[in-house]
Each structure stands twice: as structure tokens, then as C-alpha cells.
Structure 1
Amino acid sequence: MTIREKLSLLFTLITAAILMIFAALVYYSAYQNRETEFYNRLKKEGITKANLFFTAKVDSKTLQTIYKNNRETINEVEVAIYDTNFQLRYHDALDIDFVKETKQMIDEVKHKNEVRFYQKNWQVVGLLFSNEGEKYIVMAAAYDQFGYKKLENLRNTILIIFIASIILIYAAGRFFSKKALSPVTVIVNKVKKITASNLDLRLNNTQGRDELAELSSTFNEMLDRLEKSFDAQKQFVSNISHELRTPLASMITELELSTNKERSITEYQSVIQNTLTDAQKLARLATSLLDFAKASYDPSEISFRETRLDEVLLDARHQVQRQNPTYLVDIIYENEVENDEELSMNGNEYLLKVAFANLIENACKFSDNKKCVISIVVHPQQIKLCFVDEGIGICEEEIAQIFTPFFRGTNKKYTDGNGIGLSLTQKIVKLHYGEISVSSLIGKGTKFIVTFEHL
């Protein structure tokens, strides 16, 4: 069932319930009014006939004749008059006697002065009547044919109007729900046209403040993020292809040249060494890409546990120096540490070691003295790690781009690399809810500051 149908049905049901309650109240009010009015009419008819009998001294036969003549055309009121001893003084039609009064009825009227009740569909009223100091019981009864007919007509009219109203309301609900949801249909049709090849398409912004305008705006914001993500993915794939193609092309060329003719052992060793170097570059690139993918995982899928940052730094230094024995790395504690928690945080030890190793390796390989100094500063809530070198530095224009994947600045001719290290480091730091900043002077050196919250 579509939203349009649901809205139409809900609107119809609610309106039908309101109409039904209103119709029931109207019918009940009409029913009560008919009953009250007819009881009052019976009372007046009874008093009138009692006055004719006692005051006007109209004889019984005349009154009975009038009753019988009227009864042939209308539902005439049947009146009976009793004294307080249950002696019948007058009756319109004793042969018919629809009410069939009992002494109990008469006693109840004497006690209450007036009683009203139904006998089948006939309404009956009994009242106390006084004449010349004597008390009499007047019983009046009749069937309200005209009143019941009016009620029946009212009921039929209400039913017809109710059914017609429901049909009309449902049709109106369908029309207005279609009108209200037409922007949603436009949005759906527009979204269906958006694919990976045309992510530049956007929904029309109605500039309104309703929910549909907010929905369109949210869709457009999502499309902006998707477009940026797809563009970044394309650029990422393009950069990977370039980084893979260069060493692979070099390896293929070296191997092809070595197979063209006989070579000396020294030449073969040179080819093997060059090929090995290129293979190592590919291995480092593959490792970096794998680490980059790990750092891009959802944080909920990464294992975090209590980790001492100084121990991770020592492991990272050992890893870098094992691969590059000429690198010098000093670790300095700037202030006293009172307990282990000030040096600990919830983190992933492997990813943190990758990040620190990247910063150490960059500091060493871009410095003539191949040295990196790491200072540890403990604050009440945070721990700050400073990676400082005295290398060639980074120009101010390139500092904003150094964390972009595969970006390599003007210093790329100074040493080999693939442009993944710093972007990977930034991802890892942000994954641990930390911050990383950089300051640099050309010819003076570079300083990276990494800040985490400790336990």
C-alpha cells in the first residue's frame, strides 16, 4: 500500500468517525426530543379530555364517538380516568383497552403524581388530576406514528449523506494526497536518473522550509559527499595505477634487456638487484595500501585496548632502524610521569606503530643528518608527541596538501616515496580521536605534533 493510499484511508476513517459521532448525536437528540414532545402531548390530551368530562360535562358516549371517529384517520390518544380507589370513571375504548391499567399503576401515579413508561411501542403517561376537591388518575396512551416516521426519514437521510460523504471524502483525500505528494514523485523520478556516471545531477531545491525541502537538501548533501567520494576513489585508483606501473615497467624493461643477449654475471647481478629494488618498492606500496585500508575501517570494527604510547614509539623506532641502520632516533620525556595511565590510551597498537614509523622515517630521510628527535609532553588530560627534524623543510604552499593521498611536493626528488605515508598517519590519528599539526621552515626543519587524550 502506497503512502498516498494510506493517507487517503486514514483521512477517510478519521472523518468518517467524526461524522458518525456527529450523526449519532443528532439522531439521539431527535429521538429524545420526539419522546419528550409526545409525552407532553399525551399529558395535554389527557388533561383536555378530563376537563371535557368533568368541567364541560360532555357525556361519555360523545367523547367515545369522537375518539372512534378520529382513530380511523389518525392515531388518537386513548384516555382512561380512574378515581383513587381504582374505580373506572371513563374510558375511550374499553373494548380495546391497550394499556390495561392495574391497581399497582394507579397507586404509583398517586404516589408520584406523574409516571411515564412504554408499553410495547406505545407511550403511556399517568398523572394526578384534581376536580372540585376530588383527585383522579388520568391515563393517556398512543402510538407516535408521525414521530417514528420522522425518525425513520432522519435515519435514512443521515445514512445516505454519510455514505455519500465517505465517498466524497475518500476522493478528496486521494486528490489532495496526490497533490501533497507530487513533489515526492518528482524527487523519486529525479533520483532514479542519478547513477555513478552522472553524480553531478542534483534535486531541485524548492527554497522552502517544509519537510520536502529539507529532504531535497539532505539528498543533495548526500550526493555531494558521494560525488566527492567517487572522485577521490577515481583519483586514488589512478594514483595506484601510476605507482604500480612505474616499478612494474622498470622490472619488465630490466628483464627484457637481460634476455636479449648473453650477459656477464656482474650484469645479471645488477639486473637482479634493480628488479629486487623495484619489487621492494611494490611490497612497500602494497603494505601502505593495506594499512591505509585498515585505517579506513569503521572504528567499531577495529580492536582498541589500553596501549602505552612510549612503548609503541620504541617499537616503531626499532622497526625503522632495523630497515635503515643509519637513522638516528632520540626519545625525550619533557616532564616527569607520575603513573602509567598518563602514557596510556585506548588504541590499536599496530596502527599507531604504523603512524609513528611513518613520521620517524620521513623525519630521517629528508634530513642530511638522518636524525629525528621525539619529545613526550604529558598534560593533565592529554599527551603530546613532537617529531622534530633538521631537514630540508616543506614550503608553506604545500603544507595544506601534504595529507592528501599520493601527493608529493617539490622535495620528491630528494628521496623515494609513494605519497601515502602522511595521509595514512592522519587517518590513524583521527581514528584515535587525536589531532595532528605541522610547522616547517625551508632549510631549517619540520615539526609534527600529535595529540591524544590519555587514560
Structure 2
Amino acid sequence: MTLKRKIAINVSIAFSILFGLAATYIYISFSNFRKEEFKDRLTEKALTTAKLLLEVKEIDNTILKLIDQNTINKLYNEKTLVFDGQYKLVYQSLDDSKIKYTKDDLVRLNNEKSFYKVNGDQELLGIYLPFENTDYYVLISAQDKYGYSKMQYLLYSLIITYIISITLVWLLTYFFIKKLLQPLDEFQKTITTISANALNIHLVENQSHDEINLLTKAFNQMLNRLEFSFNTQKEFTSNASHELYTPLTRISLQLENLMNAGNHPPETEQYLKNINNDVHQMADLINSLLLLAKLNQDEIGKKLETLRVDDLVFDAYSQMQRNFPDFTMHFELEDNEAVDNAFEIHGFKSLLQIVIVNLLKNAYLYSEDKKATVLIQQPDASTTLVTVKNSGKTLTAEEQHKLFQPFARGENSANIHGSGLGLRIVKRILDFHGAEIQYTADGKTNQFQIVFSA
């Protein structure tokens, strides 16, 4: 999940919770207000009826019922009962409504002086009223039809407002967060184009003082330091390799001239050959280091070529034949008639030539019969496979894990001269071309497979 979505979701959830709590508080507060207001209306109506009955002598029950029935502020389904101190009914309003009560309610009223309870849709209020040394108990019941109607309207309004508000908040929050963090998207796009060969690309800075611009400035400063370090390292490697390679070349020429002069004892001849081999090994090591240092730097600006893999293999074989005349190669080609432009890949010929030569050289040096088997396949239009096999001692699991690391050498290379950089160079070149290489061992067969993807 992206940072924009996380922020938008968290803000929206926080607002949803706060708005939900506020809406709940409003609804509960209005519910309590309705209850207290209706209770006050019941109290006022009960006291008015009782005072007319007890204090105005000219009003009898019949007249009071008529007044009660035609009052302007009559409550919905209202019913009023008045009892004397003996719990005897002395008055009831003229209507068909009924009050659900028991004698225990009157006893409770005598003890508590008032009570209020809800029976279904009816709300019942009891009041104790002393008058001229006589106790009276008034029970009044009614339905708050309009109050509940207002509460229902408020509930629907809050729900609709909540849904609309939350939807708008989610959309607007995501929109504004996306706009606010747009510099981070540009930051990410620019970073993906930066590599060891493109450290001169810098992020666009502005005049604002926000955290994103400060991060941009810090990142550009880091790129400057990295570019300086990389250039210094490459320059040192290139110069050092060149300065070391030149005297080694001179030493090698002098040794060859000395050996060609002849008239040396056999023991001296062998020493000279060993020294010459060591010099060549050191020269190969320096050349490998130089190639690793300059690989991307020299080739990055060039245009990829369209190459045939089989041509690369035969060119590499010709080079191997010049250096190792006893080397033989068994070549197999599995053609796929459904694929146009068969066995064509895109890359740099000079670099891919190094890959094939290194694999053939490994097959020659580490095989029992000085022979390599090369198989080229193209299962589909976007994939080309190059497999190089040789018979010989295979690598252990631990050695396979370190196979493409610099200076890695297995037990099967104990008596073979080498720098341990060949496969590292192969891996670097293939990574540069977006290709993959895999090693597998089957019995006494070593197999390297290169996968070129279009």
C-alpha cells in the first residue's frame, strides 16, 4: 500500500470515528432533551388537572373532563388518573386510553413522591400531591408522537449526512494527499533512472522549505559525493591497472626473449616457464580488474547491436582454438520454425564475446576430455537459451553459492591457474544486458545456462 493511501485512509478513519462520535452524542443528547421536555409537559398537565379538581370547587368531574378533552395542549393518547389517600380512583380523563398500573405503583409513589417510566409507546408519570391534609396521587400517561418523529428525522439526517460527509472526506483527502505528495512521485521516478553510470542526474529543487525539498537537497548532495567517489575509484583502478600492466608486459617479453635464446639447463627452462606463467596470470588478473572497472562506463553510451548467438559461439570457438589447439566443441542448434529472426539478441558484441569465451575456457580447463558441449535453444520469440556443458568434477552446494563472487575458486581448481574473476565478469556483463546465468550439476556434468530475454 502506498504512502498516499495510508495517509488518506488513516485521516478518513480518524474523521469517520470523530464524526460518528459527534453524531452519536447529538442523537443521545436530543433523546435526553426530548425525554425531559416531555416529562415536564406531563408534570405540567398532571398538576393543572389536579389543581382544577381540588382547588376549584365549582368544577365537578364532568366539567373537568370536558375541559381536559378540549384543551389546546392535549397530549397524544393522554390518560389522567387521580387517586385519594386510600388509593381510590376519584377522577379519570374522558378517553379510551388505558394506563397500565398496579397498586404497587401507588405505594411506590407514596414513598418516592414521584416516578417516571416507559411502557412500550406510553410514558407514565406519577406525582404525589398533598392537599388539605389529604394525600392525592396523580398518574398521567401519553405518547410523545411528535418528539419521536423529530428523533427519527434527526436520525435519518445524521445517517445521510454521515455517509455523504465520509464519502467526500475520503475522496478529498486522497485528492489533496496525492497532490501534496506529488513531489515524492517525481522523486521516485527520478531515482529509478539513477545508476552507477548516471550519477549526474539530479532531482529538481525549488525555493520552498518543506521536508520534501530538504530531502531533495540532501539526496542531491549524496549523489555528488557518490559520483566523486565512483569517479575517483574508477580513475584509480584504470590508472593502477595500466601502470601495473605495462611493466608486466615488459617482463613477459624479456622472459620470452630469454627462453628463445636457448642454451639453458632444463631446470632453468622450467623456472623461466613458471615465472612467465605467473606473469601472464598477473596480467590476466589486472586485465580483469580493469574490465570490471570500465565495463559500464565504456559501453553505456553505445547503441545495442542485433547479434546472432550462433555467430558469437563460433567466433569464441575460433579464439579458443588459437589459444588452446587441443580444445574441441560439440555444437547443437534446436531451431524453432514458429519464431522469426531466430537466435537474434541485442547487446554489445565485444562484451558478449568475453562471456562465451570465459565459459568455453572454463569448460576446457575443468573438463576431463578438453571438450565442451554448446546447445542453443529458442523456446519462444522472447527467450533464447545458451547452454555450455563439460564433464568433470562438480561444485559443492557451498561453492555454488559463492560461484559468481570475486576471487571465488572451488576445489576442482586446485591445480589450475586462474584469477577467480572470470565468472564474476560474466555475471556483470550479463546483468548489464538484462540476462541471467544459472549453474547446475548433474553427476559429473557441469552446466551453465544463459537466458536472454527480449
TM-score (norm 1): 0.55
**Secondary structure of the corresponding residue to residue 118 of structure 2:** strand
How many angstroms apart in 1 are the aligned matches of 2:93 and 2:111?
25
Q: 1:216, CA displacement in angstroms?
A: 1.7
User: Which residue matches 2:389?
Assistant: none
Secondary structure of the corresponding residue to residue 83 of structure 2: strand
CA distance in 1, matches of 2:29, 2:251: 100
Distance 1:262 1:19, change over 3 A: closer
Q: Name the counterpart of 1:139.
A: 139
Q: Is the contact made by 2:80 and 2:139 (CA closer than 8 Å) also made in structure 1? A: yes
Q: What letter corresponds to residue 88 of structure 1 in structure 2?
A: L
Matched, 1:19 2:33: no
Change (3 A) 1:59 1:264: same
State the shift of 1:106 in Å.
Answer: 1.4
How do 1:98-177 residues align onto structure 2 when only pairs under 5 Å count? Answer: 98-99=99-100, 101-177=101-177
Q: Report the AA paired with residue 173 of structure 1.
A: T
Asked if the contact 2:83/2:90 (under 8 Å) is kept, the reply is: yes
SS in 1 for 2:76: coil
SS in 2 for 1:77: strand
- Does 2:191 match 1:191? yes
Give a deviation string over 1:144-174, Cα, whole Å, max 9, x none.
0100000111111111111111011111111
Deviations along 1:236-290, whole A, 9 cap, x unmatched? 331233134213321443356568x765659xx89x8799599679869989x99
Q: CA deviation at 1:75?
A: 0.6
Q: Decide whether aligned partners of structure 1 residues 256 and 280 sit closer, same or farther in structure 2, where only a CA change above 3 A counts.
A: closer
Counterparts of 1:129 and 1:243, CA distance in 2: 118
1:204 aligns with 2:204: yes
Instruction: Please tell me the residue identity of whatever aligns with 2:29.
Output: S
Question: Which position in structure 1 is the counterpart of 2:92?
Answer: 91
Opposite residue 172 of structure 1, the aligned amino acid is L
Listed as ranges, the matches of 1:277-426 within 5 Å are none
Residue 247 of structure 2 corresponds to which residue in structure 1? Answer: 247
Residues 250 and 278 of structure 1 are in contact (CA less than 8 Å); yes or no, is this contact kept in structure 2?
no
Task: Flag structure 2 segments of 5+ consecutive residues without an equivalent.
Answer: 290-454
CA distance in 2, matches of 1:90, 1:112: 22
Q: What is the letter of the counterpart of residue 166 of structure 1?
A: I
What one-letter code is carried by the residue in structure 2 that aligns with 1:160?
Answer: I
Per-residue CA deviation, residues 291-330 of structure 1 (Å, 9 max, x unaligned), is xxxxxxxxxxxxxxxxxxxxxxxxxxxxxxxxxxxxxxxx
1:4 corresponds to: 4
8 Å contact kept, 2:251–2:279: no
Shift of 1:104: 1.8
**1-side partners of 2:104 and 2:61: how far apart?**
25
Which residue does the alignment assign to 1:302? none
Contact 2:81–2:93 (CA under 8 A) maintained in structure 1: yes
Structure 1 residues 236 and 278: alpha-carbon distance in aligned structure 2, compared to 1, 3 A threshold = farther
1:180 — aligned with what? Answer: 180
Moved more, 62-71 or 241-250: 62-71
The one-letter code matched in structure 2 to 1:19 is F
Identify if the C-alpha distance between structure 1 residues 213 and 116 changes in structure 2 by more than 3 Å, giving closer, same or farther: same
Q: Which amino acid aligns with 1:168?
A: L
Q: Distance in 1 between matches of 2:274 and 2:123?
A: 117
Deviation at 1:105, TM superposition (A): 1.4
Given the superposition, is the C-alpha separation of residues 94 and 87 from structure 1 closer, same or farther in structure 2, using an over 3 Å criterion?
A: farther
**Match of 1:298?**
none
Change over 3 Å in CA distance of 1:51–1:278 after alignment to 2: same
Secondary structure, in 3 states, of the residue corresponding to 1:125?
A: strand
The equivalences for 1:49-64 within 5 A come to 49-56=49-56, 57-64=58-65
Larger Rg: 1
Mean Cα deviation higher: 54-63 or 4-13: 54-63
Identify if the C-alpha distance between structure 1 residues 22 and 243 changes in structure 2 by more than 3 Å, giving closer, same or farther.
Answer: same
Partner of 2:221: 221
Q: Is the 8 A contact 1:247 1:281 kept in 2?
A: no
Whether the 8 Å CA contact 2:117–2:124 is kept in 1: the answer is: yes
Tell me the distance in 1 between the aligned counterparts of 2:97 and 2:191: 84
**What CA distance in whole angstroms lies between the structure 2 residues aligned with 1:61 and 1:149?**
33
Alignment of 1:80 with 2:84, yes or no, is no
Counterparts of 1:143 and 1:196, CA distance in 2: 82
> Alpha carbons of 1:37 and 1:262: their partners in 2 closer, same or farther (altered >3 Å)?
closer
Secondary structure of 1:199's match? coil
Rounded Cα–Cα distance in structure 2 between residues aligned with 1:189 and 1:273: 58
Write the letter of the residue equivalent to 1:191.
Answer: I
For 1:273 and 1:255, the matched residues in 2 are separated by: 7
Contact 1:23 1:158 in 2 (8 A): yes
Question: Where does residue 393 of structure 1 map in the other structure?
Answer: none
After superposition, the CA RMSD in angstroms is 3.7
Partner amino acid, structure 1, of 2:160: I
Give a deviation string over 1:384-437, Cα, whole Å, max 9, x none: xxxxxxxxxxxxxxxxxxxxxxxxxxxxxxxxxxxxxxxxxxxxxxxxxxxxxx
- Which amino acid in structure 1 is aligned with residue 228 of structure 2? K
Is there any run of 5+ residues in structure 1 with no aligned partner, and where? 291-455
- Report the count of equivalent residues: 285
Residue in 1 that maps onto 2:46: 46
CA distance in 1, matches of 2:79, 2:242: 113
Instruction: Give secondary structure in 1 for the equivalent of 2:182.
Output: helix
Structure 1 runs, 4 residues or longer, greater than 6 Å off: 272-275, 280-287
